[in-house]
Amino acid sequence: MSNLEKHNNQNFEDIKHTNEYGVEYWYARELQLILDYKEWRKFENVINKAKDACKNSNINVFEHFVDAAKTIQMPKGATKNIKDYKLSRYACYLIAQNGDSRKEVIALAQTYFAIQTRKQEIAEKDYSLLTEDEKRFYQRNLTRKGNYSLNQTAKNAGVKNFDKFHNYGYRGLYNGESADDIAKRKGLRYREDILDNMGSDELIANLFRISQTEQKLKKDNTQTESEANKTHYHVGKIVRKAIAEVGRNYARRFTYS
């Protein structure tokens, strides 16, 4: 791989965003600069061609090209509305395919997004073929990463006692049970991690609790440990309620006396 290719691949990674559900996306305005389009008008022409290609493939355009118009500040207190999009990986690939082929960065973008799109297709296909143990291992890895990210956000929100903070989340999701209570019910040894002893569905529920708590702490700009704890408990209860509404059989996994 050439230095130019390494540089631009990293640029594509640098402008990648991830929402609260772990879905990756790119802003069109940021991609425009990486792909060396000076004028939005010309880049939007490429976007429109990519939309047509998406539509012609019988794929929902609005799932891959999401409107993200924003208001920016202008001199003397004025404001201006500018058009933007949240682009899926596939949308970026189509844009690269319809870009100016004379630009070397376009060729690199085509390769980068083609590879990343294929990796995602393989990952989605393979997950359905995994055994329960393999799914559990996969989800456990995601919850480990999720907890690390949540801890950073919680720290910025003023949390110092992280055991207490996480117990608030568990109590909300598990009807009042703390981590120790869950460990005892599962018959675990001292200091054995409860997350290492959950099935894939239970891990998914906890991952949802983790990601939603992190997003709410950020959205609310939480500044105190007390508020952070309350938020974690509240989100845990909401996730529990959502599970209960899905079906009684599923809810029994999280209903303990």
* pLDDT given for residue 115 in this prediction: 73
Q: Read off the amino acid at residue 227.
A: E
Q: With bands split at pLDDT 50, 70 and 90, how would you rate the model's confidence at 139?
A: confident
Give the whole-angstrom CA distance, residue 194 versus residue 206.
11
Mean pLDDT, rounded, of the chain: 85
Nearest to 34 by CA among 97, 104, 119: 104
- Token pair of 8 as six digits: 């631009």
Check whether 198 has a pLDDT greater than 60.
yes
Q: What phi and psi values does residue 138 have, to the nearest 5 degrees?
A: -65, -45
Q: With bands split at pLDDT 50, 70 and 90, how would you rate the model's confidence at 9?
A: low
Q: What are all long-range contacts of 145-154, with beta carbons under 8 Å and residues at least 24 apart?
A: 146/207, 146/210, 146/211, 146/214, 147/210, 149/214, 150/210, 150/211, 150/213, 150/214, 153/214, 153/217, 153/218, 154/214, 154/217, 154/228
- Indicate yes or no: pTM above 0.85: no
Check whether 6 has a pLDDT greater than 70.
no
Contacts of 89 by beta carbon, 8 Å cutoff, 6+ apart? 24, 26, 113, 116, 117, 120
* pLDDT given for residue 69 in this prediction: 86
Q: Read off the amino acid at residue 181.
A: D
* pLDDT given for residue 174 in this prediction: 97
* pLDDT given for residue 145 in this prediction: 86
Check whether 184 has a pLDDT greater than 70.
yes
Tens-place pLDDT, residues 160-180:
999 999 999 999 999 999 999
Q: With bands split at pLDDT 50, 70 and 90, how would you rate the model's confidence at 30?
A: very high
Contacts of 44 by beta carbon, 8 Å cutoff, 6+ apart? 83
Residue 32 · residue 109 · CB < 8 Å: no
Check whether 107 has a pLDDT greater than 70.
yes
* pLDDT given for residue 106 in this prediction: 86
Q: Which of 67-81, 139-153, 215-229, 241-255 has the lowest mean pLDDT?
A: 241-255
* pLDDT given for residue 190 in this prediction: 83
Residue 79: in which H helix or E strand, if any? strand 79-82
Q: Would residue 187 be called left, alpha or beta, if left means φ above 0 and alpha means ψ between -120 and 50 degrees?
A: left
Give the whole-angstrom CA distance, residue 181 versus residue 170.
10
Check whether 5 has a pLDDT greater than 70.
no
Q: Which of 87-101, 119-133, 153-167 has the lowest mean pLDDT?
A: 119-133
